[in-house]
């Protein structure tokens, strides 16, 4: 099992008409049970818009080149000074991709075999 975490802090002053400080903070973590099963999470905070964003993704490769993804997004926005009045949006998204390969003889080999069998019958 592997686990990594990273963070970033950005601070801006006097952006456009705004003369105050703006902070943008982010934290990302990744936990891999094995290379085929991973949980990735991301959090970002913007102090100018008073916005928090969460993104959590589960990725599973259940057979070669076939994946199941489940993603959860949550955003909160300042609706008022009271935390209970904050506007929120939540999304859960799923994606399934499945690859099935069929193994057939190539056309040239199939044609050669047919021609050979026909020539044996004619003799």
pLDDT in tens, 54-113: 999 999 999 988 999 999 999 988 765 666 667 888 999 999 999 887 766 555 554 444
Greatest Cα pair distance, the chain, in angstroms, is: 96
Is 63 exposed, middle or buried (CB count within 10 Å of its CB: 0-12, 13-18, 19+)?
exposed
Q: What is the pTM of this model?
A: 0.68
**Long-range interactions of 12-15: CB distance < 8 A, separation 24+:** 15/48
């Amino acid at each position: 099992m592997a686990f990594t975490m990273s963070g970033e802090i950005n601070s801006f002053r006097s952006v456009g008409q705004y003369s105050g400080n703006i902070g943008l903070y982010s934290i990302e973590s990744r936990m891999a049970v094995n290379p085929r099963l991973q949980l990735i999470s991301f959090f970002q905070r913007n102090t100018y818009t008073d916005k928090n964003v969460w993104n959590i993704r589960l990725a599973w490769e259940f057979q070669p080149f076939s994946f199941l993804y489940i993603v959860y997004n949550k955003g909160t926005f300042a609706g008022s000074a009271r935390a209970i009045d904050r506007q929120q949006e939540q999304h859960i998204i799923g994606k399934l991709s499945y690859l099935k390969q069929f193994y057939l003889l190539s056309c040239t080999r199939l044609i050669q075999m047919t021609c050979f069998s026909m020539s044996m019958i004619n003799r």
